[in-house]
Amino acid sequence: MLQIVSGLKELDFAGLMAVYEEGNRENGRDNYPDEPEYRQLFLQEENFYRYLQQIFFVTPGAVCAVWEENGEYRAALRLEPYKDGLLLEALETAPAYRRLGYARQLIKAVLARYPAERIYSHVHKKNLPSLAIHKACGFQRISEQAAYIDGSVNSRCCTLCYEP
């Protein structure tokens, strides 16, 4: 079931971290290479919390969309205002639930929730599963690079767009 969360008080942060654990472990290794593995994860999750608290959820219109079943988060993504629509970012499915359709269900539910919005997404060009899910949900590739909200550009990612 789709949950739209607009603040930390509504969010099961531990449940969200279970969805993002793999990415947090990777980022923790990159950001804290001299720390033990358990500490890398802790510090990365702490950074994630601060980001949500101090930047993401204070942005008007920013929400976290979560697919939940049986009280457990299965997949998640973030949406925030971008250009002439919304930016879908950080799409992730908990490892135990991958290849079961949760990311697709989540995207489809988000598209239904925001039927009049143009929705953009930046996806790494080598992330074939995510590219396939976006395509199956009706996204089209519109650029061979990603231009982020902060003005930075990433040529390893492409920009996809869903037009209502």
Residues 98-156 have pLDDT tens digits of 999 999 999 999 999 999 999 999 999 999 999 999 999 999 999 999 998 888 999 99
pLDDT digits (tens, 9 = 90+) for 6-60: 999 999 999 999 999 999 999 999 999 999 999 999 999 999 999 999 999 999 9
Domains contained in the chain, number = 1
Whole-number pLDDT of residue 150: 86
DSSP string, 75-112: EEEEEEEETTEEEEEEEEE-GGGTTTTHHHHHHHHHHH
> Residue 53: what are its φ and ψ, rounded to 5°?
-70, -45
* CATH number of the domain enclosing 117: 3.40.630.30
Is the model's pTM score more than 0.85?
Answer: yes
Residue 66 backbone zone (phi > 0: left; psi -120 to 50: alpha; other: beta): beta
Output the CA–CA distances (angstroms, integers) from residue 8 to 13, 48, 71, 81, in the order listed: 8, 12, 17, 18
Contact assessment for residue 80 and residue 48, using Cβ atoms and an 8 Å cutoff = no
Whole-number pLDDT of residue 13: 97
For the chain, the average pLDDT equals 96
Residue from 54, 146, 149 nearest 159 by CA: 146
CA distance 27 to 29: 5
Triad 57, 69, 60: Cα angle to 5°: 15
CA distance 73 to 93: 9
Per the structure, the complete domain to which residue 20 belongs is given by: 2-162
